[in-house]
């Protein structure tokens, strides 16, 4: 049986460094916004973003982007981790589904 595409939106390349934080990734003594993590996006669509990180993310975690992600006519401020793939000892590829987006006029 041939592979069936599950994506609702077309992906396109989008390679940019990004900073994020997650309430699920904080310690008991430090607030989530005090610890930022870095990653690099590799593709994007109206529905989500692909990201490469040096530490593993957990499916179901919500990531909040330090800077809004602006592409075409929408802005995203957060996304939910939908899947994680280990590429190497310290390299992980994950797919995020945007959880907070809005249309822009500029």
Q: What is the pLDDT of residues 32-53, one digit of tens each?
A: 456 789 999 999 988 899 999 9
Helices and strands: H and E segment counts in the chain: 0, 6
Q: Look at residue 105 and give its three-state secondary structure.
A: coil
pLDDT of residue 3: 45
Mean of the per-residue pLDDT values for the chain? 84
Question: Closest Cα partner for 85 from 47, 48, 45, 57?
Answer: 57
pLDDT for the residue 1? 44
pLDDT tens-digit profile of 56-75? 999 999 999 999 998 778 89
Question: Under CATH, which number does the domain 12-103 receive?
Answer: 2.40.10.220
Name the pLDDT band for 24 (thresholds 50, 70, 90).
low
Q: How confident is the model at residue 103 (pLDDT cuts 50, 70, 90)?
A: confident
- Pair type for strands 12-21 and 74-88: unpaired
The whole-angstrom separation of Cα 40 and Cα 43 is 10
């Amino acid at each position: 049986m041939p592979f069936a595409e599950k994506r609702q939106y077309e992906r396109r390349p989008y390679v940019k460094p990004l900073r994020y934080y997650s309430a699920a990734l904080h310690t008991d003594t430090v607030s989530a916004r005090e610890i930022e993590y870095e990653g690099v996006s590799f593709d994007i669509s109206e529905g989500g973003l692909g990201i490469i990180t040096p530490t593993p993310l957990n499916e179901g975690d919500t990531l909040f982007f330090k800077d809004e992600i602006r592409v075409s006519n929408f802005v995203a401020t957060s996304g939910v981790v939908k899947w994680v793939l280990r590429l190497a000892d310290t390299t992980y590829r994950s797919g995020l589904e945007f959880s907070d987006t809005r249309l822009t006029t500029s």
